[in-house]
Amino acid sequence: MNNVAFEKNTGNKIANRTVVSDTLLELASENKDILVLTSDSRGSASMVPFADALPEQLIEVGIAEQNLVGISAGLAAYGKKPFVASPACFLSMRSIEQIKVDIAYSKTNVKLIGISGGVSYGALGMSHHSVQDLAVTRAIPDLHVMMPADRHETKKMIEALVDYETPVYMRIGRNPVEDSYLNADYDFQIGKAVIMHEGDDLTIIATGETVRVALDTAYALKADGISCRVINMHTIKPLDEAAIIQAAKETGRIITIEEHSIFGGLGSAVSEVTSQFCPVPVKILGIPDEPAIAGNTKEVFQHYGLSAENVACIAKEMLGC
């Protein structure tokens, strides 16, 4: 792809949550059926401008996530297009039964936006981390699961979700992330992985903010003459199995990186495909099975080896060099 920010540092200062809010404001101004629901989370979701501009289209539910999801299901059953913006840690756990029954099982067209996801609440501790959400949501039938890499992909994803009839859980982080794309001028399709960088020696598959780590790793490996493919798996479900099988066949080794528990997330999803259709060595990198250490995202990533330096080492080990 020619619009990938392969050499890092675009100096982005815009958080994905701001992009979600701006994009929804733009779309909702033209479409009165688009509603945003918050759980005292309009500030965290950067939704204050939306609330000010379209007060009738922002529904405040208060700190009551089960009710938040139930109400959104009722609105969608009528024909509204609710986007629920609530911290991923609460949305994906407190209200998971409403997500399972009122949304997925009843097939109501609700878009769940888990904000401040992963470890982006940093020092607030495990109560505020959401690193089990992919595992839980992707096990629910008829619920699709997505995670955008950067602000450009966030915009493309929100635009795509407006006319997407299936319920979706989409997780974003709290803080600005370095761009993975140079711009939003590319073809984005739900369920279709993006090959960010071609390579033959091994493949790194990443999702969300770890796509940047994958790109940095590939860049570092390139200097050592190693050709590393980078796949951005923005849609965890439905999973682009073809891209995984192709990568397994053509490169023979896979590393997955995710801001999620090593259980049940991207690494598990990829391994479910490779183990059945094209067995190759897969190394799963993520948050280990413990309450994540306190620190900002960069520090936590560094601590658990979700850094270009460490992933490059692991890649070389897998390649025997």
Residues that bind another protein (CB under 8 A): 56, 59, 61-62, 64, 66-67, 69-80, 82, 97-98, 101-102, 105-108
- Rounded to the nearest whole angstrom, what is the least distance from the CB of residue 278 to another protein in the complex? 35
Nearest-approach distance from CB 97 to another protein, in angstroms: 6
| Residue closer to another protein, measured from CB, 74 or 176 | 74
Q: Which residues of 67-99 are buried (b: 16+ CB within 10 A; e: fewer)?
A: ebbbbbbebbeeebbbbbbbbbbbbbbbbbebb
Chain centre distance of CA 99: 18
φ/ψ region of 118 (left if φ > 0, alpha if ψ in -120 to 50, else beta) reads: left
Q: Give the C-alpha separation, 175 to 50, whole Å.
A: 19
- Catalytic, out of 30, 65, 97, 209: 65
Q: Which is nearer to another protein, 66 or 310 (CB)?
A: 66
For the beta sheet containing 194-197, the strands, ordered from the edge strand earlier in sequence to the opposite edge, are 194-197, 228-232, 202-206, 254-261, 282-287
Phi, psi of 125 (to 5 degrees): 95, 180
- Rank residues 26 and 33 by Cβ distance to another protein and give the closer one: 33
Name residue 17's amino acid: R
Quote the least distance from Cβ 126 to another protein, whole Å: 23
Whether 56 is catalytic: no
Q: Decide the pairing of beta strands 228-232 and 194-197.
A: antiparallel
Q: Identify which of residues 61 and 168 has a Cβ nearer to another protein in the complex.
A: 61
| Smallest gap from residue 71 Cβ to another protein (A) | 4
* Tokens read off for 271: 């391994």
Smallest distance, another protein to C-beta of residue 136, A: 16
Nearer to another protein, 59 or 131 (CB): 59
Give 276's DSSP letter. Answer: H
* Spatial separation of the C-alpha atoms in residues 256 and 211, rounded to whole Å: 10
Q: Which residues are catalytic?
A: 65
